[in-house]
Amino acid sequence: MTAVAGLLAVLAGGAAAPDGFVVLREVDPGIGQDMRYAGARNFTGGVVDGYEEPECLLARPAAEALRRAQQRLRRSGRSLRVYDCYRPQRAVDRFVRWARTQDGPGDRATKAEFYPNVERDRLIPDGYIAERSGHSRGSTLDVTLVELTGREADMGTAFDFFDPLSHTDDPRVTGAARANRQLLKRVLSEQGFVNLPEEWWHFTYRPEVYPDTYFDFPVAVASVRP
């Protein structure tokens, strides 16, 4: 790909998704959803730009692979719950702006939950927040295990915990939490997902449908319908 073509492929705007994106709830309504950036429980403390509805949108192959993983897990008494799926570029831009500001009094609760051991001005240099995210290409998602009762499994840390303890194979994570991380990784890997080693919850389905394009349409059911 030439440099010019690469720049043109970096970002695709517009209000609608291209053909091939689906609403996960319509592919498998049994997969739980706790879409953190559509609400206040996330490291920014508020709804993030571009999240108009608490819905998981994905490229169809990724959604169908996740459905297969869900079927496999349910046979063993577990289920999946997603925290984030497709993420518009405007949301990534919001994360970057947030990371470049100083903590204020209203940020103490989010710091305690999500980044207690690192200062906000280190989140970009230390690689926790970046100016581009694979989520914007439509085949990446953040996911955890839950019991069939709905109770979240012990994964050793919370979702979006900015700390080396979140590394999938951190040796300090042992017992049930380590077993749960390995189970999640194994079941998703069997369906074509690749884990990001620094985040136990982060998986990308490969081959990606849109490996070079970062989309910016909003997270809303209407975005994937004509």
Per-residue pLDDT for 147 more than 90?
yes
64 is catalytic: no
In the chain, the amino acid numbered 41 is R
Q: What is the pLDDT of residues 28-49, one digit of tens each?
A: 999 999 999 999 999 999 999 9
pLDDT at 125 over 50: yes
Band (pLDDT 50/70/90 cuts) for residue 148 is confident
pLDDT digits (tens, 9 = 90+) for 162-187: 999 999 999 999 999 999 999 999 99
pLDDT of 5 strictly over 70: no
What does the block give as tokens for 97?
A: 């702006």
Decide: pTM greater than 0.85: yes
For residue range 92-106, list pLDDT tens digits in order: 999 999 999 988 877
Best CA proximity match to 218, nearest among 48, 33, 34, 20 = 48
For residue 100, how many other CB atoms are within 10 A of its CB?
Answer: 12
144 touches 155 (CB < 8 A): yes
| Cα 79 to Cα 187: distance, rounded to the nearest angstrom | 11
**At a CB cut-off of 8 Å and minimum separation 6, what does 143 contact?**
66, 80, 81, 82, 83, 184, 188, 201, 203
Q: What is the pLDDT of residues 175-219, one digit of tens each?
A: 999 999 999 999 999 999 999 999 999 999 999 999 999 999 999
Do β-strands 11-12 and 214-215 pair in parallel, antiparallel, or remain unpaired?
Answer: parallel
Q: Which residue has the tokens 């100083």?
A: 102
CA distance 221 to 38: 13
What local confidence, expressed as pLDDT, does residue 15 receive?
81
Q: What is the largest CA-CA distance in the chain?
A: 51
pLDDT for 10 equals: 54
Select which of 26, 119, 199, 208 is catalytic: 199
3-class secondary-structure state, position 152: strand
Domains of the chain: 20-214 (3.30.1380.10)
Supply 63's token pair: 């959604």
